[in-house]
Structure 1
Amino acid sequence: MMALVAAVDLSAGPGVGYLPLLSLGPAFASLAGGVRRTAWVGLFAIALCAGLARHDEIIGTRAGDATFISVVGVTAAGMLAAAYRERNERELADVRTIAEVAQRVLLRPMPRRVGPVRAAVRYLSASARARIGGDLYEVVMTAQGVRVIVGDVQGKGLDAVETAAVVLGAFREAAYDEPGLPDVADRIERALARQLTSEQFVTGVLAELDPAGRLTLLNRGHPPPLLIRSGRAVQALDPPEPAPPLGLSGLVEEPAAPFSVGFAPGDRVLFYTDGVVEARNDRGVFYPLAERADLLVGADPETALDALQADLLRYAGKPLDDDAAMLMLTTEPSITA
């Protein structure tokens, strides 16, 4: 930029007044460089300004003085802006580090195998400053079998994260103690009663895979999981009757009832949050998850979810508007035989 200004000034001759444009050098340097780089660019601009001012014979004139003042002033302002930007970048890095630590505590790393089940998970946060939000998931091995929760807290921000921590804490205790999924849901409801206001809620689906090969589900207002049979048939596991989300059970007289399906060796089940199916492309069309289920067949669970995540982001073409979590469970013939 400064070389171009110098070339134009030399070709145009004195009296045209291009020299103040040299201040663009330190101005642009402050956008990407640090304080030191901005200072060096500013010093170069001042030296270049002095040489061109001598060539144009304007040293000591009002125009020459105004040019030097403008270059020095922009350099000082650029150094100050660079210092503020670097400080904000350090603070942002600290926020992201803290968020990642919180995520490892709240959403613990998923083991590749939980009892007889292989598990894989992917989490995409819509937050620009952190990698954690209100979606939640957990898989534990209990005496009754493998138990799962996948949920989505209403709202965003730190309040949603705090509520997600309450839900996961209650589930991690109740999953080992309670005999059935309705009892686990009741424990979570009691924990939420001390946390939520009357208008807040958490959608969630609880699941249990027992040693006999039955998958039992209790859906509380959450998108239905997808069951992918080993023969490539895809089935949405809709509950027989709709049920209110967790935190709103007082709206109905009868508690929600669980239901069961067979889960044969080689079958896969995908749990997900609404951030997946509510992702839109540039035409405003929702992501057709059921039509993309072939991405989940055949490949290793980790590879399958990588393919689904890449397809989702490619379909949306931009950062997601909502958090999105995907959890896939599968059993293998060699394990269940």
Structure 2
Amino acid sequence: MRFATYVHDGEVSAGVVSDAGVHALPGTTVLDLVRAGLPTAIAAGEQALDGPAVPLDAVRLLPPLEAPTVRDFVAFEEHVEGVVAGMGMGAGVVPEWYQAPTFYFTNPYALHGAHDDVAVPPGCQRFDFELEVAVVVGGVVGSDGASLTPEAAREHVFGYTVLNDWSARDLQRREMQVSLGPAKGKDSATTLGPFLVTADELEPYRDDEGFLALDMRVSVNGELVGQDLLSNMGWPFEELIAYASRGTEVRAGDVLGSGTCGNGGCLAELWGRRGPESLPSLQPGDVVEMTVEGLGTIRNTVVAGVELPPVAAARPRPRTRTRS
């Protein structure tokens, strides 16, 4: 089942999507449905399918849900190989990458819908896309969980959606030199959509190792730039959820990104493999389209962002410990 959050006639609604369009689910939100658990959500969706549908081209799709938190992992080895070279951070994958999944928290207030315009961040000259899939925590009973095993974590999967982790590579590179971040290099925009597809719909794609073998593609201005399989992740989503919950908890509605796929999942990887001038950075007017098998397509146009004055540098600081 595919759930959506959308605007129609000026009103924000939750709905379930069919071939006819989107059927309203009045009095609730997609986050409410996630917290209620899969059986309750699917029952509500089936009931809504009996009602009228609004054609998808008559609505504006918002992010499928208002995520309370968004974690983004880096689970594709091939992506890491290219990016570390492209950003001047060394060569090859550091041994620590293989020891455990790594993630950062990104900005839940900067989520964009499947067809929204996306602005270049202030001060950015090297704007980039990142093709990913995100899992949404919720599962059978919509419950929260702490220190989950991977087996238990599977019961906490509600569904999946396409994720574009927009990245200001020049800002990110400076931040990473401080051994902290990313921060402003990553928090200006994250696209989620077009829908939240429930976990049961993707089970036919699960391979013998427990990975989802979904085709992933990204194009810029109609030209294919990258293509990979989601099953090339280093860890399945259940292990990412389990790791995120170690010594703490994950809650229904939390979004966990897979990290960028390999084989051209972002420009930075291609810059690392082919050279920094091999492909231009994203510019206003560029259209980035991502399609993931079983999940759908998101298509965003890059637009000019707000212009702000340069950030002030830190003041020189003496090391005296007495008042002058």
Name the TM-score class by shorter chain: under 0.3
Structure showing greater radius of gyration is 1
* More strand per residue: 2
Relative to the length of structure 2, the TM-score reads: 0.25
* More helix per residue: 1
Relative to the length of structure 1, the TM-score reads: 0.25
